[in-house]
C-alpha cells in the first residue's frame, strides 16, 4: 500500500514535512527515548524531472528512500508504503552545489602580535611542529572545524543549494575543504559527504601577523618554496617532523582550488601550478572575459562569481569623471562573463562567493542568462560541473539511483522569470521554500449588472498582475486587483479624464474550478450591482504571450586589450614598413644618417639605405624632416608592477621575482610608449640589501604580462646600499631587522654569498654521487633564495645595485672581489664621479640621473656633471628614470648631459638607447638601428634631444604600439564610450537599479622604498 497525498490536500503536505523530520538513521549515536526509524520512502509522480543538466524526463516518477535516490523514470513502480506526492505540472531538478563557501566553519581571527607595538614579527606565533610561516597551514581541516549553522544553511537552501564545499578562507596554503550537506536535521557525522574533498590556496596571507610576505611576489615565492620543501620533506622524512609539510604532501592528490583577485593573478596561479604539476581549479572575481583567450589556454576549470557591480551614481559630472573607463565597462559587461566563458568552452562552476547579499544570486543568475548563458549551461555549472571537479559526481549533482536525494521542486521551468522554488529536498529532508502562487493572469469577459460585456485583461507578474479594462480597442483604462486569501477586489475609473468622475468598486471571490471572479459591486453613482469575470482559456494564453515581452537584446561595448583606457580591440600586427628620408640616429659607429630609409619587416630592421623600395603589401611612412632613433630603454623602472615593489621584510629576498607580478594593464606602459620608450628593467625596490629578481620587458601594450617579458633575456637582481636598507627613515618601531648600520649591510652580503657557496658545493657533491648512492642518501633541500645567489656566482644573473655614497660603492666592489662575483651596474650612483676609476677597474656599468640632488642626506654631494665624468672615465653610462613620470621624458634627461658635460648629441642619445642595452646584455638585438636587430624604433617630430620633439610613432617588434593619429582618435573614442555607458547607468538608475558612489582612484606610483602591497602616495617617495 502507499499513501496518496493528492487525496489529503493540506494535511498531506504537512504529513510529508512531519515524516521527513521524524526520519533519521540510527547511526552510531545513542538517543534518549524511543527510536523512530521510518524508511523515509517517498514517490513524486507526474513531474517533469531533470535527472541531470541535459536529461529531461516528462511525466516521470522519482522515488527516494533513506535520503537517497532509489529510482527515477517514466515507468517507475511505486513501492509499497511510499508517501506519494503528485507533482503534475511541476519540475524537479538536482540540488545545486557551491564549490566556494565557508559554511559552518568559524572565521579565523588574527592573533595578537607579540613584541613592540607596530614592530616587525619575523617568526611564526603558532605553537607546535608546524611551518615557519603563519600563512602556510595545510594542516587545517575544515571537516574538523565544521559545525551545523542553521541560519547559514537556510539562506543557501533558499537559493537552491543542497551541498557546499566549505573551507577556512585564510592564508596562502589554507588546508583542506569538506563537501557537506545543507541538511540541518542530522548531526555533523552524517552531513560530511567528503571530509577531504579539495585543497585550498591563494596569494593572500590572510590573518597572518608575520611580516613575510608583504608583497604579491613574496606570496608567490612562499608558495613555490613550500611546494619544494614538501617534496624535500617527503624524500627525507627523518630530517624534519614538519606537520604542515606532511599535510601538504597528503593533499597533493586532491583537487586544488586557488582563489585569485583578478584575471592577471589567475594566469600567475596557473603558472605556479604548471611548475609543480598541479592543475588548479581557479576561483576568480568575475573579470575572466577580459583575458579569455589566455585563460582558455591554461585549461584551468573556473569557479565564477555572480557578484556584478552596481551602477555608479554619475548624475554629477565631477563624480562621473572619477570612475575609470575599465570600471564603467566592467559594470556593463560583467553579467556576460559566464556566457562568454561558456562560449569559449572553459568548464566552470557557479558560486555565491563574493555576494554580500546572497539574495542577489538568483536574480543575477537570471541576468547572466539574459546576457548569453544558456539555461542548460547554468544548470550544468550548478550541478554536474562542481560535482565532477571535486570527484563527487556519484553523490551529488544529478538524480540517479544511489545518489543523495538532493533536489528542487519548482512551479515551472527553473530559470523562467515566473518560476518559484517550492521545496528544496536535502538528503531526503524536505525544506519548504514557498507556496505555489495563484496565477490569475488572462483575458476575462467582465459582466457588470445589466451593462454590456467588456474585456478585463490581467497581465504582468503572477504575484502582482496588472489590470486593464478594455471597453473598445481605443478605450482602455487601468485599474487595480488585490487578492487577500479568497477575497478579491477590483477598482477602476471608467472615465478617468472626466473631472469629478468616480471609481467602480467590485468585491467578490475567485473560483479556481470555473476560473471566475464573482461578487457584489458599487458604481460611481452608488448603484449596487452583481458582477462576474469569466476567464477565456485561449485568450489567457495569448495574454501571457503578450505580457511576457521578449527582453531587448543586450548591447555590450567592445572588448579591448588591455581592458583599460587606450586599450585596443586587438594587439597591433607586425607591419612591413618603409620609413623614408628620415634623419636616422643609429647609435652605432655610423652615427647620424641624413635622408635615409629604414625597412622594418617581420619584427626586424631588414635594411638601411637610400632609395629603398617598399615590398609588396608594405606601407611607406614619410620621414622627411623627422628623426628616427632606436627605442629608448629605461634601465631602472618601477612601472607595471602589481601589489608591491618591495619584499623588504627580510634582509635577503632573492627568491622573489618581479617577473611574477608584471602588471600588463598599467597605463604607464602606454604613456612610456608615447615618450619613445620600448623596453625597461622592472626592478625590485631598495628596502633590503639583497632584493628580488628583475623583469626585463618590452612595452607590448595589450599583451599579457608573460608575453611582455623578453624571452631569452639574462637574469638580473636588485641589490641596495645606503639609508633605505638600514631602515633609517622607517620609524622607531623598525629597529629589529638586521642590518641597522652600513657595517651590517656589508656583513649581509658576506654571509649570503658564504651560504650560497656552501649550498652550491652541497649540490655539486650530491650530483657527483651515483644513482644508487643517491637512492640511499638524503638529497639537499632546494632553496630559491640561495639558487639566485649561485646564479650570480656563475654569471647567470647580474646585479643592479642601488647606491649613492662612495664608501659603500667601494665596499660592495671589495666584497664582490673577495667572494668572486661581479657587480654589473650601480644605479643612482650619484657619487660615481668620485670612484669612476675604481668602477672602471671592476668593469661595472653606471646608470644615473641627470640632475637630481638634495632629496635626502646621502645625495648631498650629487652634481649634474656626474654622468659626463663617468663617461669620460670610460664607463658605460646610462640615464634612467626610477620614476613613472620621468620615464616619458628620458630623451630630455639625456639632453641635459650635453649641457652639463659637453657630450655630443649622438653620445647623449646613447645614454638612453645602446648604453642601457649593453648594461642589460640586450645589445645584440636592441638599442641601435642596425640590420638584423629588433624593429624597436621611434619616429620623432624633431631632434630627439629637443624639448619640442615628441614621438609620432613608436614601434616595438615592428608593431605600431603608439602613433599620434590613433592616439587622438582613441581619446575621442574613450569620451564617446564613457558617455554611452554613463547614459546607460542613468537609465539603470531611473529603472530602479541600485547604485554606488564613485571611489577616487588617484594615479599612484611605486618608488624604490614604497612598502606594502598597494600603490600609495603615503609612503616615502625618496629614491
**Model confidence at 547: pLDDT above 50:** no
Work out the pLDDT band at 15, boundaries 50, 70, 90.
Answer: very low
Residue-level pLDDT at 259? 98
Coil, helix or strand at residue 307: coil
The answer to whether 91 touches 427, Cβ cutoff 8 Å, is no
The reported pLDDT for the residue numbered 160 is 98
Q: Whole-angstrom Cα distance, residue 985 to residue 582? A: 49
Whether the per-residue pLDDT at 114 is higher than 70: the answer is: no
- Looking at residue 425, its pLDDT comes to 98
Question: 799: closest CA among 729, 882, 716, 876?
Answer: 716
- pLDDT of 625 over the 90 cut: yes
Half-sphere exposure at residue 34, Cβ-oriented, CA atoms within 13 angstroms = 3
The predicted-structure confidence for 687-697, as pLDDT tens digits, reads as follows 999 999 999 99
Distance CA 294, CA 283 (A): 16
Q: Is the pLDDT of residue 22 over 90?
A: no
Mean residue pLDDT of the chain comes to 91
Distance in angstroms between the alpha carbons of the first and the last residue of the chain: 87
Span 130-147, mean pLDDT?
A: 97
Question: Is the pLDDT assigned to residue 100 strictly greater than 90?
Answer: yes
Q: What average pLDDT does the segment 379-390 reach?
A: 98
Q: Which residues contact 17 (CB under 8 A, 6 or more apart)?
A: 430, 432
Residue partners of 150: CB distance under 8 A and separation at least 6: 184
Helix 216-235, helix 784-793: angle, nearest 10: 100
User: Per the structure block, which three cell numbers stand in for 678?
Assistant: 620600448
Sequence-ordered strand ranges (E) for 89-141: 91-94, 96-101
Q: What is the pLDDT of residue 549?
A: 55
Average pLDDT for 214-229: 98
pLDDT in tens, 229-239: 999 999 988 88
Return the closest-CA partner of residue 668 out of 641, 704, 695: 641
State phi, psi for 380 to the nearest 5 degrees. -60, -40
- pLDDT tens, residue by residue, 270-285: 999 999 999 999 999 9
Which candidate, 856, 893, 880, 889, places its Cα nearest to that of 1023? 856
Q: pLDDT tens-digit profile of 310-346? A: 999 999 999 999 999 999 999 999 999 999 999 999 9
* Assigned C-alpha cell, 602: 617581420
pLDDT of residue 917: 98
State the Cα–Cα distance between residues 402 and 406, nearest whole angstrom.
11
The 10s digit of each residue's pLDDT in 560-586 is 999 999 999 999 999 999 999 999 999
Supply the pLDDT for residue 27: 67
Q: Which of 135-144, 438-447, 757-766, 816-825 has the lowest mean pLDDT?
A: 438-447
Greater confidence (15 vs 984) lies with 984
Judge residue 434's burial from the number of C-beta atoms within 10 Å of its C-beta, 0-12 exposed, 13-18 middle, 19 or more buried: exposed
The answer to whether the predicted template modeling score (pTM) of the entire model surpasses 0.85 is yes
- The predicted pLDDT at position 1023 comes to 36
pLDDT at 929: 98
Would you tell me how many other CB atoms lie within 10 Å of the CB of residue 10?
7
Q: Choose among 393, 403, 395, 305: nearest CA to 355.
A: 305
Mean pLDDT of 706-729: 93
CA distance 600 to 584: 14
Q: What is the pLDDT of residue 382?
A: 98
Interatomic CA distance for residues 210 and 263, integer angstroms: 27
Per-residue model confidence as pLDDT tens digits over 855-887: 888 999 999 999 999 999 999 999 999 999 999
User: In this predicted model, which residue has the larger pLDDT, 332 or 548?
Assistant: 332
Could you identify the residue written with the cell 572575481? 285
User: H or E element: which one contains 535?
Assistant: strand 528-536
In what helix (H) or strand (E) does residue 600 lie, and over which residues does it extend? strand 592-601
Is the pLDDT at 90 greater than 60, yes or no?
yes
Contact 805, 834 (CB under 8 A): no
The strand pairing partners of 475, in sequence order, are 472
Supply 870's cell numbers: 663617468
Q: Are 378 and 415 in contact (CB under 8 A)?
A: yes
Number of H helices and number of E strands within the chain? 27, 44
Q: What's residue 861's pLDDT?
A: 95
Q: What pLDDT is stored for residue 990 in this prediction?
A: 93
pLDDT at 118: 64
Cell matching residue 58: 516528462
Q: What is the pLDDT of residue 21?
A: 41
Task: Give the span between the Cα atoms of 922 and 908, in whole angstroms.
Answer: 19
How many residues in the chain? 1023
- List strand residue ranges (DSSP E) for 370-515, in order: 407-410, 421-426, 429-432, 442-448, 454-461, 464-472, 475-484, 487-492, 504-511
Neighbours of 907 (CB within 10 A): 19
How many Cα atoms are found within 13 Å in the side-chain-facing hemisphere of 898?
15
Confidence (pLDDT) at 510: 86
CA-CA distance, 436 to 675, in Å (whole number)?
Answer: 66
Plot region of 345 (φ>0 → left; ψ -120 to 50 → alpha; else → beta): left
Residue indicated by cell numbers 572565521: 107
903 versus 1016: the higher-pLDDT residue is: 903
Return d(Cα 134, Cα 796) in angstroms, integer: 33
Whether 496 shows a pLDDT value over 70: the answer reads: yes
Is the pLDDT at 7 greater than 90? The verdict is no
User: What integer pLDDT is reported at residue 39 of this predicted model?
Assistant: 61
Backbone torsions φ then ψ of 1002, nearest 5 degrees: -65, 150
Asked if pLDDT for residue 721 goes beyond 60, the answer is yes
8 A C-beta contact, residue 336 and residue 556: yes
Report d(CA 703, CA 709) in Å as an integer. Answer: 10
Average pLDDT over residues 33-57: 87
Confidence check: pLDDT of 6 > 50? no
Separation of alpha carbons 934 and 921, rounded Å: 14
Amino acid at each position: 500500500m502507499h499513501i496518496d497525498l493528492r487525496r489529503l490536500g493540506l494535511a498531506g503536505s504537512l504529513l510529508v514535512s512531519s515524516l521527513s523530520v521524524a526520519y533519521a538513521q540510527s547511526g552510531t549515536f545513542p538517543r534518549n527515548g524511543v527510536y523512530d526509524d521510518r524508511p523515509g520512502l517517498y514517490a513524486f509522480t507526474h513531474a517533469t524531472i531533470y535527472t541531470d543538466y541535459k536529461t529531461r524526463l516528462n511525466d516521470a516518477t522519482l522515488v527516494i528512500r533513506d535520503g537517497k535516490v532509489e529510482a527515477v523514470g517514466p515507468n517507475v513502480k511505486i513501492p509499497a508504503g511510499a508517501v506519494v506526492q503528485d507533482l503534475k505540472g511541476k519540475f524537479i531538478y538536482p540540488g545545486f552545489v557551491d564549490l566556494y563557501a565557508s559554511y559552518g566553519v568559524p572565521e579565523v581571527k588574527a592573533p595578537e602580535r607579540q613584541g613592540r607595538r607596530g614592530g616587525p614579527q619575523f617568526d611564526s606565533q603558532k605553537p607546535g611542529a608546524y611551518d615557519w610561516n603563519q600563512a602556510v597551514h595545510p594542516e587545517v581541516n575544515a571537516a574538523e572545524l565544521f559545525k551545523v549553522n542553521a541560519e547559514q544553511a537556510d539562506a543557501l537552501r533558499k537559493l537552491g543549494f543542497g551541498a557546499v564545499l566549505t573551507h577556512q578562507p585564510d592564508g596562502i596554503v589554507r588546508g583542506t575543504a569538506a563537501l557537506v550537506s545543507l541538511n540541518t536535521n542530522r548531526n555533523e557525522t552524517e552531513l560530511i559527504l567528503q571530509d577531504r574533498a579539495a585543497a585550498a590556496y591563494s596569494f593572500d596571507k590572510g590573518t597572518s601577523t608575520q611580516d613575510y610576505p608583504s608583497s604579491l611576489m613574496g606570496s608567490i615565492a612562499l608558495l613555490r618554496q613550500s611546494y619544494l620543501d614538501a617534496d624535500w620533506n617527503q624524500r627525507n622524512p627523518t630530517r624534519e617532523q614538519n606537520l604542515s609539510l606532511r599535510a601538504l604532501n597528503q593533499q597533493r592528490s586532491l583537487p586544488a582550488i586557488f582563489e585569485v583577485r583578478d584575471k592577471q593573478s589567475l594566469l600567475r596561479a596557473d603558472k605556479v601550478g604548471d611548475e609543480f604539476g598541479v592543475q588548479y581549479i581557479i576561483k576568480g572575481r568575475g573579470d575572466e572575459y577580459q583575458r579569455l583567450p589566455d585563460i582558455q589556454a591554461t585549461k584551468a576549470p573556473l569557479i565564477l562569481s555572480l557578484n556584478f557591480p552596481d551602477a555608479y551614481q554619475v548624475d554629477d559630472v565631477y563624480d562621473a569623471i572619477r570612475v575609470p573607463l575599465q570600471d564603467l565597462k566592467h559594470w556593463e559587461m560583467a553579467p556576460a562573463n559566464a556566457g562568454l566563458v561558456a562560449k569559449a568552452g572553459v568548464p566552470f562552476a557557479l558560486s555565491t562567493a563574493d555576494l554580500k547579499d546572497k539574495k542577489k544570486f538568483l536574480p543575477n543568475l537570471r541576468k547572466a542568462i539574459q546576457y548569453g548563458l544558456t539555461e542548460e549551461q547554468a544548470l550544468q555549472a550548478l550541478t554536474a560541473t562542481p560535482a565532477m571537479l571535486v570527484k563527487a559526481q556519484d553523490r551529488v549533482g544529478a538524480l540517479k539511483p544511489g545518489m543523495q536525494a538532493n533536489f528542487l521542486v519548482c512551479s515551472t521551468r527553473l530559470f523562467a522569470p515566473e518560476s518559484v522554488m517550492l521545496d528544496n529536498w536535502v538528503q531526503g529532508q524536505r525544506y519548504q521554500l514557498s507556496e505555489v502562487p495563484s496565477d490569475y493572469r488572462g483575458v476575462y469577459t467582465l459582466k457588470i449588472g445589466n451593462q454590456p460585456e467588456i474585456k478585463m485583461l490581467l497581465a504582468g507578474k503572477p504575484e502582482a498582475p496588472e489590470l486593464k479594462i478594455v471597453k473598445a480597442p481605443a478605450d482602455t483604462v487601468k485599474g487595480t486587483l488585490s487578492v487577500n486569501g479568497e477575497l478579491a477586489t477590483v477598482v477602476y475609473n471608467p472615465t478617468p479624464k472626466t473631472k469629478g468622475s468616480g471609481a467602480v468598486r467590485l468585491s467578490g471571490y475567485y473560483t479556481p474550478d470555473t476560473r471566475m471572479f464573482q461578487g457584489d459591486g458599487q458604481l460611481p453613482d452608488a448603484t449596487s450591482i452583481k458582477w462576474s469575470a469569466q476567464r477565456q482559456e485561449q485568450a489567457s494564453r495569448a495574454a501571457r504571450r503578450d505580457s511576457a515581452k521578449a527582453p531587448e537584446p543586450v548591447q555590450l561595448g567592445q572588448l579591448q586589450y588591455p581592458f583599460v583606457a587606450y586599450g585596443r580591440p586587438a594587439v597591433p600586427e607586425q607591419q612591413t614598413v618603409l620609413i623614408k628620408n628620415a634623419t636616422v640616429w643609429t647609435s652605432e659607429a655610423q652615427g647620424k644618417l641624413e635622408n635615409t630609409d629604414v625597412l622594418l619587416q617581420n619584427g626586424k630592421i631588414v635594411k638601411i639605405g637610400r632609395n629603398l623600395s617598399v615590398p609588396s603589401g608594405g606601407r611607406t611612412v614619410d620621414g622627411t624632416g623627422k628623426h628616427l632613433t632606436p627605442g629608448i630603454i629605461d634601465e631602472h623602472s618601477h612601472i607595471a608592477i602589481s601589489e608591491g615593489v618591495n619584499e623588504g621584510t627580510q634582509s635577503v629576498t632573492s627568491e622573489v621575482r618581479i617577473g611574477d607580478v608584471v602588471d600588463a594593464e598599467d597605463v604607464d606602459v602606454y604613456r612610456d610608449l608615447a615618450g619613445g620608450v620600448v623596453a625597461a628593467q622592472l626592478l625590485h625596490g631598495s628596502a633590503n640589501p639583497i632584493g628580488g629578481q628583475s623583469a626585463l620587458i618590452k612595452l607590448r601594450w595589450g599583451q599579457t604580462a608573460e608575453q611582455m617579458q623578453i624571452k631569452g633575456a639574462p637574469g638580473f637582481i636588485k641589490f641596495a646600499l645606503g639609508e633605505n636598507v638600514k631602515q633609517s627613515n622607517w620609524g622607531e618601531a623598525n629597529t629589529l631587522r638586521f642590518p641597522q648600520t652600513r657595517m651590517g649591510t656589508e656583513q649581509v652580503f658576506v654571509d649570503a654569498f658564504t651560504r650560497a657557496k656552501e649550498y652550491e658545493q652541497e649540490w655539486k657533491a650530491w650530483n657527483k654521487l651515483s644513482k644508487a648512492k643517491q637512492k640511499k642518501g638524503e638529497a639537499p633541500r632546494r632553496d630559491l633564495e640561495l639558487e639566485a645567489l649561485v646564479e650570480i656566482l656563475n654569471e647567470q644573473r647580474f646585479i643592479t645595485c642601488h647606491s649613492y655614497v662612495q664608501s659603500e660603492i667601494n665596499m660592495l666592489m671589495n666584497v664582490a672581489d673577495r667572494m668572486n662575483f661581479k657587480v654589473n651596474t650601480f644605479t643612482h650612483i650619484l657619487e660615481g664621479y668620485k670612484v669612476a676609476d675604481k668602477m672602471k677597474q671592476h668593469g661595472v656599468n653606471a646608470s644615473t640621473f641627470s640632475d637630481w640632488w638634495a632629496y635626502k642626506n646621502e645625495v648631498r654631494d650629487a652634481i649634474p656633471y656626474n654622468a659626463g665624468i663617468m663617461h669620460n672615465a670610460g664607463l658605460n653610462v646610462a640615464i634612467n628614470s626610477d620614476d613613472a613620470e620621468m620615464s616619458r621624458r628620458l630623451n630630455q634627461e639625456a639632453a641635459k648631459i650635453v649641457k652639463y658635460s659637453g657630450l655630443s648629441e649622438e653620445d647623449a642619445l646613447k645614454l638612453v638607447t645602446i648604453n642601457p642595452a649593453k648594461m642589460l646584455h640586450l645589445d645584440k638585438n636592441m638599442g641601435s638601428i642596425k640590420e638584423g636587430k629588433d624593429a624597436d624604433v621611434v619616429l620623432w617630430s624633431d631632434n630627439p634631444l629637443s624639448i619640442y620633439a615628441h614621438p609620432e610613432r613608436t614601434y616595438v617588434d615592428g608593431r605600431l604600439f603608439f602613433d599620434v593619429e590613433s592616439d587622438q582618435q582613441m581619446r575621442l573614442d574613450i569620451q564617446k564610450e564613457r558617455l554611452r555607458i554613463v547614459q546607460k547607468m542613468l537609465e539603470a538608475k531611473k529603472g530602479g537599479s541600485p547604485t554606488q558612489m564613485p571611489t577616487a582612484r588617484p594615479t599612484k606610483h611605486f618608488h624604490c622604498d614604497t612598502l606594502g602591497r598597494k600603490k600609495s602616495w603615503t609612503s616615502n617617495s625618496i629614491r
